[in-house]
Amino acid sequence: MSATTLDAHASAKKRKTSLHNQRLWALWGSYAALAVFVVIFLVPPFYTVITSLKSSAEISAQTGSPWMVNHPTLENFWYLITYPNFQTYYLNSAMITAVTVAVSMTISIMAAFSLSRMGFWGSQTLSTGVFLTYLVPPSLLFIPLFQIVGMLGLINNLWCLALLYPTLAVPFCTWIMIGYFSSIPKELDEAALIDGASYIQILLKIFIPVAMPGIIAATIFAFTVAWGAFLYPLAYLYTSNQMVLTVGIISDLIRGDVFQWGKIMAACLLASLPPIVIYACLMDYYVAGLTAGATKG
Amino acid sequence: MAEVSCRKVVKEYDGGVQAVKGIDLDIADHEFVVLVGPSGCGKSTTLRMIAGLEEITGGEIWIGGDVVNDVPPRDRDIAMVFQNYALYPHMSVFDNMAFGLKLRKFPKDEIKRRVDEAARILDIGVLLDRKPRALSGGQRQRVAMGRAIVRNPKVFLFDEPLSNLDAKLRVQMRTEIKKVHQTVKTTTVYVTHDQIEAMTLADRVVVMNHGIIEQVGSPAEVYHRPTSRFVAGFIGSPAMNFLPCRIDEAAGGGLSVRINDAIKIAIPAERTARYLPFKGKEMVFGIRPEHLTQRKDEGRPGFEPVDLLVDVVEPMGMETMVHFFVDGAPICARLDPATNAEPEKMLGLTADMNQMHIMEKDTGKVVY
C-alpha cells in the first residue's frame, strides 16, 4: 500500500471519528435538555398525585417529607365522586365541551373548505384574518362579551359558554383545517367534480375522510379549549348548578383562606382524566394533523 | 360518444396574460387527438377548459353538438385522467371506480357489472379490494383509466397521464391506452409534452406554442410536412437540424443551398420551382438527423455529399448519434452503428436533399 493511500485512509478515519464524537455530544446534549424538561413538566403532576392521596391531617403535618405519602388514602377521591356539586360540574363541563366541539368543528370544517378550495374574491385575506382573530387575548374580550351575554339574558346560564367557547376554538381550528385541506391535491376535488360530485359531496365524501388526522387534531384543540377554559366561566357563572369543573373546583374547595389541598388535587386529577385519555389515544393523529401542510405544497 | 369543437377559444388570466389565444379545433367522434407542445403553450389550459375546470374568457366549446361554456364539469359527460392519478386515497379500487356511478344513482348490479368490465379490460380485477396506497404507479394509472371507462362518457380527457411513470412503464402504459381506445373508441383528447407519446398515440396531433395552434395533422404529416420551424424542431428526436443559408444559383443551373463558402449543397431539380422566388434571400435550411447518412448513395438524385468535422460520437446500440458544429450551430446525424466516425476527424456524409426543408428566416414558415 503506498504512502498516499495510507494518508488518505488515516484522514478518512480521523474525519469519521470526529463525526462520531460530534454526534455523541449532540445526543448527550439532547438527553440533558430533555431531562430538564421532563423534570420541570412532570414534577407538578407528580406532586398533585402525592397530595391527592394524603389525608388533610397528613398534608398539614409539619413532619416528614412532603414528597412522600405515609398513609395513602382514597378519601379525597371518594368524597368528590359522591359529592353532588362535583358531579354537576363534571356533567356541565362534558355537555358544554361536547357542544363546543360539535359547533366549532362544523364551522371550522366548512370555513376551511371554502377558504382553501372555493377560491372566491378575498379568500386569502380572510384566511389571514381568521388567524389574526386567534391572536386577540380572551382577557381583552370578556368585558365586551359580558355586555353581549347580558343583552342575550345569558348571564349565569351555562349555555352562554356554548356561545363563547367557539369564538376561542374556531379561528385556530379553521387555521389547522386550512393547512390540512391545502395539502390535499387539487386534482382530487377536480376528479370528484368531473365524477359528478357537488361541493358539499366533495366535502363530505372526499375531504372529511381524507383530512381525518387534521380533523382529529382540531377536535382535540377545541376539546382542550372548552374543557380547560377558566376566565369566561369565572366571569359569567356564579351559582353551583351552572358551574363547570374549572371554576367549580376552586369555588367549592377553597373556602375563604381554607384550601382543601387533598380534595383540590384529587379534583384536578379527575378533571384531567378525559384530556389524558383522549391525548393518549389520538396523539399520533394530533401530531400528524398539526404538521400537515408544513412540508407538502 | 361525441365530437368536440373549440371556436375562437380564449383564456385570459388576471393581469391580462393570455394562455390560449383564440384557437379553433374540431375533433371528430371516436378520434384520438393529442395536444402537444412545450410547457406553458396552453395545451393543459385548453384541456381544462374542455373539462369545465377553467372558465372560458372568450369563444365557444362544443361537446356533442351543444355549447358547454356554462355547463358544469359533472354535466358535460366527460371523464378525465390526471397526471398524479387523483385517486381517492380512502376508497378501495372498486369504490374509486364506482364513485361517479354511485353519485349518479346507478343500480348496484349495474355498477358492479361496469366496474368488473372495466377491470377486465384493464386487467386490474385482482386489485379491486385494495387501497390506492397499496398499488404501484402503473396500477394506479390503470385504476384512474378504469374510473374514466366505467362512466362510458362522451369524451375522455387525459392530462399528461404518463409523466409520473418511469420510462419502461410509460412505454407499456402507452400501449395500454392505445389498446383501450381501440376497444372503447371513445373520443379522446390527450395532453402531453412528450412528442413520442403524441406520435404513437394520436390519430391527429395538435402542436401548440404560445397559446396558438401551430399545426394540426396526422403524426406522419407533422413529422414529414411541418408548416413551421417550431413544429419541425419540436417533433422528432433528436430535433431537426437548422442552419442559416442562402438560396443561390447552382453552377450547372438550378439552385443550391449555400451554408457558407465551403458548404454548398445542390437542391433537387424538382424543387427548383418551389424555391425560385427565394433566390438570393437569407433562409433557414432544415434537415433531420436520419437524412444525414454516412457517405453512400452518391450519384442518386437528391443525395448530395457534405464533409463535416466530428465533435462527439454517441453510440446507442441500434444507432449512433454523431454531433458536428457548422458555423457554431449544432448538427446531429443518426448513423449506422457500424460507423467509423471519430471525434476531431472529418466525416463524409450524404444529405438526402429530397427530405430537406427551407424556412423563411423571419416567420419560420416552411416553404412548400
Cβ separation of A194 and B89 shorter than 8 Å? Answer: no
- Nearest residue, CB atoms, A195 vs list B53, B84, B99: B99
Backbone angles phi, psi at B257, to 5 degrees: -95, 120
Interface mutation vs chain B, best among A117, A118, A124, A195, most B CBs within 10 Å: A195
State the Cα–Cα distance between residues B85 and B133, nearest whole angstrom.
12
- Nearest residue, CB atoms, B103 vs list A187, A188, A197: A197
Residue with cell 393523529: A285
- On whether any CB of chain A is under 8 Å from the CB of B53, the answer is yes
pLDDT value of position A1? 45
Cβ separation of A195 and B78 shorter than 8 Å? Answer: no
ipTM of this complex: 0.85
In the chain, the amino acid numbered B211 is G
- On whether any CB of chain A is under 8 Å from the CB of B104, the answer is yes
State the Cα–Cα distance between residues B129 and A148, nearest whole angstrom.
55
Three-state SS for B170-235 is HHHHHHHHHHHHHHHCCEEEEEECCHHHHHHHCCEEEEEECCEEEEEECHHHHHHCCCEHHHHHHC
pLDDT in tens, chain A (297 residues): 455 555 667 676 666 677 788 899 999 999 999 999 999 999 999 999 999 999 988 888 878 788 888 889 999 999 999 999 999 999 999 999 999 999 999 999 999 999 998 878 888 898 888 888 888 888 888 889 999 999 999 999 999 999 999 998 999 999 989 988 998 999 999 999 999 999 999 999 999 998 988 899 899 999 999 999 999 999 999 999 999 999 999 998 888 888 899 999 999 999 999 999 998 888 777 666 555 544 333
Grid cell locating A11: 484522514
Contact residues, chain A to chain B, C-beta under 8 Å: 185, 187-188, 190-198, 201, 205-206, 209-210
Q: How far is B125 from chain A (nearest CA, A)?
A: 21
- On whether any CB of chain A is under 8 Å from the CB of B89, the answer is yes
- Check whether B157 has a pLDDT greater than 70: yes
Please list, residue by residue across A96-107, b when 16 or more beta carbons sit within 10 angstroms of its beta carbon and e when fewer do: bbebbbebbbee
B296: exposed, middle or buried (Cβ count in 10 Å: 0-12, 13-18, 19+)? exposed
pLDDT value of position A70? 87
- Check whether B226 has a pLDDT greater than 90: yes
Cβ separation of A197 and B74 shorter than 8 Å? Answer: yes
Neighbours of A280 (CB within 10 A): 8
Can you tell me the mean pLDDT for B262-287?
A: 92
Tally C-beta pairs within 8 A across A and B. 56
pLDDT value of position A8? 65
On chain A, the residues whose CB falls within 8 A of the CB of B147 are 191, 195
State the Cα–Cα distance between residues B55 and B69, nearest whole angstrom.
8
Q: State percent of chain B over pLDDT 70.
A: 99
- Nearest residue, CB atoms, A188 vs list B73, B86, B103: B86
State the Cα–Cα distance between residues B78 and B101, nearest whole angstrom.
13
On chain B, the residues whose CB falls within 8 A of the CB of A198 are 74
- DSSP code for A154: -
Cβ separation of B88 and A194 shorter than 8 Å? Answer: no
- Strand ranges across the sheet with B329-335: B292-294, B346-352, B303-315, B320-326, B329-335
pLDDT value of position A134? 81
pLDDT value of position A297? 33
Question: For residue range B84-132, what is the model confidence (pLDDT) as tens digits?
Answer: 889 999 999 999 999 999 999 999 999 999 999 999 988 899 999 999 9
The per-residue pLDDT of chain B, averaged, comes to: 92
Interface mutation vs chain A, best among B53, B75, B77, most A CBs within 10 Å: B53
Nearest-Cα residue of chain A relative to residue B97: A195
Question: For residue range A267-286, what is the model confidence (pLDDT) as tens digits?
Answer: 999 999 999 999 888 877 76
Category of A73 on φ-ψ map: left (φ > 0), alpha (ψ -120 to 50) or beta:
beta
Residues 6 or more apart whose CB falls under 8 angstroms from that of A130 comprise A111, A115, A171, A174, A175, A178
Neighbours of B163 (CB within 10 A): 14
Residue with cell 431539380: B269
**Any idea what the Cα angle at residue B166 is, between residues B146 and B197, rounded to 5°?**
70
Question: For residue range B66-84, what is the model confidence (pLDDT) as tens digits?
Answer: 999 999 999 999 999 999 8
- Check whether B30 has a pLDDT greater than 70: yes
pTM metric for this prediction: 0.82
Question: How does residue B170 score in pLDDT terms, banded at 50, 70 and 90?
Answer: confident
